Structure 1
Amino acid sequence: MSESLLLAVFLTLAGGFQDAYSYNCRGEVFANAQTGNIVLLGQNLAQGRWQEALHYLLPLGAFISGVYVTEWVRHLFKEYQRLHWRQMVLCTEAILLAVVGLLPQSANMLANGLMSFACAMQVNSFRKFRGIPCATTMCIGNMRSATEMLCRYHITKDRELRRKCRHYYFVILVFALGAAGGALMSLWLGERAIWMAGGLLFGGFLIMFVKEGERGPL
């Protein structure tokens, strides 16, 4: 189930939601798009705005830490029988986002750091769905792969390439829907809107209890 399309939908909705939430509700910082944070960090450093630069440096450090910690989780618990190590990751993410929803605006730096840490855990743990390498927290790689597959399909007429192309564009659409939901819910619920993304991740945690033979076409 860790590679099912149903799980990909839950995680991608949460990924888009988090980016919109962090930008609209937590000081215009991206929880997932670290490239954007690097650009804004460099811009603020060039302008001598040291305090503002910290707003982007902390999420970058948290992202790196999240990848590092996830590798340890994989190493220590990959043979654990009662719970899949990826379920541990999703449960941790959901808890972190629950904490974020309790933080006031004065703690935006901490909130963004926790979200970036959670995002890194997700992107490092879930890299492939239906046998296709795919990201659930960012779109640039998916866009490149989708367009590559589209072009190769037009050249070769290989239907498997068309299937992969549709898969990538579908994931991009789901991410956009998650971002739209994140923007709307942030305006409506404020800081606590992130609990909806946490709920999606917890839903993914529950989905992974379904056995391989029980899951159906998704």
Structure 2
Amino acid sequence: MKQCNDRERWIHQNMAVIGGFMGGYAILNHHELFGSAQTANMISIAMDAAGRLDADFAVRVLGLLVYMAGLASTVILPKLNLNLKLFSVCLDAAALVLVGLLPDDLNDFIALYPLFFASSVQWCSFKGADGFVSASIFSTNNLRQFTTSFTEYICSRDREALRKGKFYGKVLLFFHSGVAAAFLSCQAFGLKGAWVGIVPVCTAFAQVCIDCYGGACETEELAAQ
């Protein structure tokens, strides 16, 4: 079972790199818009509905619907016997290829629609590892868990709190390594720097294929019984 847990952890850390890369790419190239979450967008929509004049109101609403469509797809696709994790990784690759091809004068929200959809699918497809719930597309809850877990360990020397803190600390490290990679790739290649993100996507694809079809975990579970 340790091998299975290690594999699950490595996959999640790899997906955090991809999540950080996509988030960093969106912020760098589209006026500080974060493509992996919708809180700021929904706040803007609410202000627009209350009377603020915003020429982007319609594209903001459509962007929210695109994000919601991604969330809904994670409910529908498993019912069609499609592997959600493989679908998510392939979708990340397609989104990164597409945003690198879009014109640089395209409306910022429209340019982020591929990342809206891919990020929402990734969020629901890779929910955590080692028994911990952890988002791979943004960091706030990971930071909360990291901070509170290490504080608990300092106060009580609880070994489980230390294990938890290490897990969330690694997710934060891998996520922000992806952000740094996005910065460097965009500095070098502009919008086409998105294609550098295909590298961690390829490693994630290989990891997920091994996890899904390797059979090692099933063998270990049977042996344990």
> TM-score, normalised on structure 1?
0.83
Distance 2:190 2:51 in 1: 31
* Rg comparison, structure with higher value: 2
Superposed CA RMSD: 2.5
Distance 2:100 2:23 in 1: 14
- Secondary structure of the residue aligned to 1:117 is helix
Which residues in structure 2 correspond to 1:132-211 (within 5 Å)? 132-210=132-210, 211=214
* C-alpha contact 1:127 1:135 (8 A) present in aligned 2: yes
Q: Deviations 1:21-52 (Å, cap 9, x if unpaired)?
A: 11211243211132233344456666734213
Match of 2:223 in 1: none
Shift of 1:54: 4.3
Match of 1:37 in 2: 41
Structure 1 pair 45–28 and aligned structure 2 pair: CA distance change class (3 A): farther
Match of 2:95 in 1: 96
**Alignment partner of 1:26 is 2:30:** yes
Q: Deviations 1:79-108 (Å, cap 9, x if unpaired)?
A: xxxxx4311221122112212211112334
Structure 1 pair 135–100 and aligned structure 2 pair: CA distance change class (3 A): same
Structure 1 pair 45–178 and aligned structure 2 pair: CA distance change class (3 A): farther
Match of 2:86 in 1: 87
Match of 1:121 in 2: 121
Residue identity (%): 24
Amino acid at match of 2:9: L
Amino acid at match of 1:35: T
Structure 1 pair 112–75 and aligned structure 2 pair: CA distance change class (3 A): same
Q: Is the deviation greater in 141-150 or in 65-74? A: 141-150
Q: Deviations 1:164-198 (Å, cap 9, x if unpaired)?
A: 11110111122112112212222221111112223
2:72 is aligned, of 68, 75, 80, to 68
Match of 1:10 in 2: 14
Q: Deviations 1:192-216 (Å, cap 9, x if unpaired)?
A: 11122233223211112223649xx
Structure 1 pair 184–54 and aligned structure 2 pair: CA distance change class (3 A): farther
Amino acid at match of 1:86: K
* C-alpha contact 2:146 2:164 (8 A) present in aligned 1: yes
Unaligned runs of 5+ in 1: 79-83
Distance 1:103 1:191 in 2: 8
> TM-score, normalised on structure 2?
0.81
- Secondary structure of the residue aligned to 1:161 is helix
